[in-house]
Amino acid sequence: MPIQPVHRIAAGLRIGKSRTVSVGRLAVTGRVSAQGGGSLKDLADELRDVGYVRVKAVSEDETTLEIARRFGSISVISGVAPVQELIPRSVEQASTSSYGGMYGLGQFPLHTDMAHWHVPPRYFLLRCMHPAPEVKTLVLHSQDVFGDEDEITLRRALFRPRRRLDSRLTCLRLYENGRCRWDPVFIVPITNCAVELRQRVLRRIESARTVELSLEDPLDCIVLDNWSALHGRTDVPSKCTHRILERVYLDSVKP
């Protein structure tokens, strides 16, 4: 049986008109809701349905942590700074276990963050520090990737982290309990069923229409639902290497 999309948004609305709604003191730019009327939806619902929501800082002086706190509760993750700076680096400059180390200034493939963790971060906020609007953040809803898979396949298709995180064998599923995960390199298939599922996912991603988001000024932010959508980044031309984003992981978002 195909997995039940809880709130499947009509495909045509994915690239529909933006609307701006007010959340606290900030302007939130969301999408026309699946219900069609542009009705106000809970931020968590909007994130689950669309995968992301654009948000704006009040001023350039507002710190990324302050913005993030308005929208949710900041994750405390051992070994991960509350605010991480995302700076384009060449393969030589970046750590080999990071996307920068593998892809350098090239396109980052669609993925979910920390897909090799047992429970990956729930949400994250990206804030523009130095804009380079030519470089886009890409988003693809998990329904476009897993929506046609049946529950049994998703249960049987087991993956593991490419590198053991500890001595235990961790089995990971790509879609479980409403939570998606995907990474083309950091998780590897264990079962035959997983090898086949991986191929289908790669094919779907190849032909999918991703949403392209650009962050144009230091007020621009995006909140992404890391359990509902995959994301990536276009390549960084040499004239755009000044692009800097800040990222904050969130455990929850405010209603």
User: Which residues are at the interface with ligand AKG (CB under 6 A)?
Assistant: 86, 99, 108, 113, 137, 231, 233, 245
Q: Report 194-253 residues binding Fe ion (CB under 5 A).
A: none
Decide if 135 contacts 240 (C-beta within 8 A).
yes
The nearest distance, CB 184 to ligand AKG, in angstroms, is 13
Q: Which is nearer to ligand AKG, 32 or 230 (CB)?
A: 230
Q: Which is nearer to ligand AKG, 107 or 156 (CB)?
A: 107
The nearest distance, CB 231 to Fe ion, in angstroms, is 6
Closest CA to 177 of 255, 119, 114: 119
The nearest distance, CB 135 to ligand AKG, in angstroms, is 7
Q: Judging by beta carbons within 10 Å of its beta carbon (0-12, 13-18, 19+), is residue 30 exposed, middle or buried?
A: buried
How many C-beta neighbours within 10 Å does residue 245 have?
A: 25
- Give me the residue whose beta carbon is nearest to ligand AKG: 137
**Amino acid letter, residue 200:** R
Q: Which is nearer to Fe ion, 3 or 114 (CB)?
A: 114
**233 strand-pairing partners:** 108, 137
Q: Which is nearer to ligand AKG, 99 or 159 (CB)?
A: 99
The nearest distance, CB 58 to Fe ion, in angstroms, is 26
Residue 86 binds which entry of Fe ion, ligand AKG, none, CB below 5-8 Å type-dependent = ligand AKG
Decide if 9 contacts 49 (C-beta within 8 A).
yes
Q: Report 107-126 residues binding Fe ion (CB under 5 A).
A: 113
Q: Which is nearer to ligand AKG, 179 or 254 (CB)?
A: 179
Closest CA to 72 of 245, 244, 225, 232: 225
x/- letters, 143..162, toward Fe ion (CB under 5 A)? --------------------
The nearest distance, CB 222 to Fe ion, in angstroms, is 12
The nearest distance, CB 156 to ligand AKG, in angstroms, is 28
Q: Look at strands 84-86 and 220-225 and give their pairing.
A: unpaired
Distances in Å between the Cα of 218 and the Cα atoms of 12, 66, 235, 249 are 30, 14, 20, 19
Q: Which is nearer to ligand AKG, 71 or 99 (CB)?
A: 99
Sign of CA pseudo-dihedral 109, 123, 19, 219: negative
How many C-beta neighbours within 10 Å does residue 86 have?
A: 17
Residue 229 binds which entry of Fe ion, ligand AKG, none, CB below 5-8 Å type-dependent = none
Could you list the residues that contact Fe ion (CB under 5 A)?
Answer: 113
